[in-house]
Amino acid sequence: MRRLYLVVIMISVIVAAALISYLLLRPRVLEEKLIGGKYNAKVVIMGLDDRGFIGGEIVYTKDGIEHRGFYSSFLNNSLIWIKANTPEDCVFLNWWDYGHMIVGYAERETIIRNPSKEALNSVSAPDKITEFDSHEKLVDVANALTTTDLNLTKSIMKRYGATYILITTEDGGTKVPWLYQFAGLNYTQYVKPSSLTFNPQDYTDLGKQTMIYKLSNSTNIEGFTQVYSYEDVKIFKI
């Protein structure tokens, strides 16, 4: 009887410790802000990211399904511009991180808004991912951004009905090795990132021929018109 009592006590202690750990370690919701719109979107604020921007999740309902994705306030002005200045039926080519924000906040479609299962090793918080896009789409977007042939970029965009490209300074910075790798390229031949954001000096001569460098560094690319630029974000139209 005494042994059973001790077992019960031990189990209770373990359960209590696990519960305390969960409560202490889980992301703490600081605030929720309603965005509204046709997808009844809201932003769940959980703190500041590495660069001091407000971060958390965007939550919205589309086609009767609730979606959750990463949110960062650095994209706010760009999302407002997109919603006010682009056709409602347009499609964006962008890296998946920004997909849910473009769909839920700006109410525009994107080629990808989630990583693929094969790409989870590139995600800083894989446990937060509840949806996946096909790896084929992810690779197509990576190819469009890292190719040296702008006609290939146009061809991939046409395949998905995309007419806009959105890039951020992070795409050409810390994220860019992943873009090259998913495109099947050895990123060290193209870039050696030294900071979180795009730095032209990090790119090799070969890297400077790729679309991600040209989009990050220039406003004059044949067949692509820059229609928006604000701090960390650029938008091009074909």
Rounded distance, CA 141 to CA 90, Å?
A: 16
Does residue 36 belong to any structural domain of this protein? no
pLDDT at position 122 is 86
Q: How do residues 200-229 score in pLDDT, each as one tens digit?
A: 999 999 999 999 999 999 878 999 999 999
Does residue 144 belong to any structural domain of this protein? yes
Does residue 107 belong to any structural domain of this protein? yes
CATH classification of the domain holding 95: 3.40.50.12610
Q: Which residue has the tokens 């989870």?
A: 120
Does residue 170 belong to any structural domain of this protein? yes
Structural domain count, the chain: 1
| Domain assignment of residue 91, given as a range | 74-237
Does residue 82 belong to any structural domain of this protein? yes
Does residue 200 belong to any structural domain of this protein? yes
Q: Which residue has the tokens 């998946």?
A: 96
User: Which of the residue ranges 3-12, 30-39, 87-96, 136-145 would you say has the lowest mean pLDDT?
Assistant: 3-12
SS3 34: strand
Does residue 83 belong to any structural domain of this protein? yes
Rounded distance, CA 189 to CA 136, Å?
A: 24
- Residue 89 is given by DSSP the state T
Rounded distance, CA 27 to CA 71, Å?
A: 14
